[in-house]
Amino acid sequence: AISDPEALPLIFGGHLPDDVNSQLKYLLVWEPVNPLTAVTMFLPAYKNHPFIIQYAMRALESHSVDITFFYVPQIVQTLRYDALGYVERYILETAQFSQLFAHQIIWNMKANSYKDDDAQVPDEIKPALDGVMGKMVESFVPLDRDFY
């Protein structure tokens, strides 16, 4: 089953059941899931379990930025639950080698910083988004900053 990433939802069922803890060690060698499934593993239902977080990161990093680009909205929303900073790290590292990804992430973060269309009511995630955006822009080389 470790060669079939689509088997993971059968084991987990959308959360971390108590009876699978002994099987989590297999995640270290399990084939990577698609980016959308990987992003869901950062949700509170998976309890920030170290094996699950490591697997989700490995799965995300195994896909080309051309693929993960399509999951930017989900990746940005996952920052709500990123207590350990793994999603932030993924965003910052990926933004270093893809201007397009960085631009899309920033645009999405700005779009999600407020609850209303008039940008008057900040979302709870706004401080986290502002922090990640600041770190990204700070790390840009002049060419990337011009693109931004």
The arithmetic mean of pLDDT across residues 5-14, rounded, is 77
User: Hey, what CATH topology would domain 64-147 get?
Assistant: 1.25.40
Contact 126, 76 (CB under 8 A): no
Q: What is the pLDDT of residues 47-106, one digit of tens each?
A: 999 999 999 999 999 999 999 999 999 999 999 999 999 999 999 999 999 999 999 999
Which residues belong to CATH 1.25.40 in the chain?
Answer: 64-147
Instruction: Give the model's confidence band at 142: pLDDT under 50 very low, under 70 low, under 90 confident, else very high.
Output: confident
pLDDT score of 1 more than 70: no
Chain-centre distance for alpha carbon 120: 27
Closest to 37 (Cα-Cα) out of 17, 56, 58: 56
Phi, psi dihedrals of residue 16, rounded to the nearest 5°? -100, 95
pLDDT band at 21 (very low <50, low <70, confident <90, very high): confident
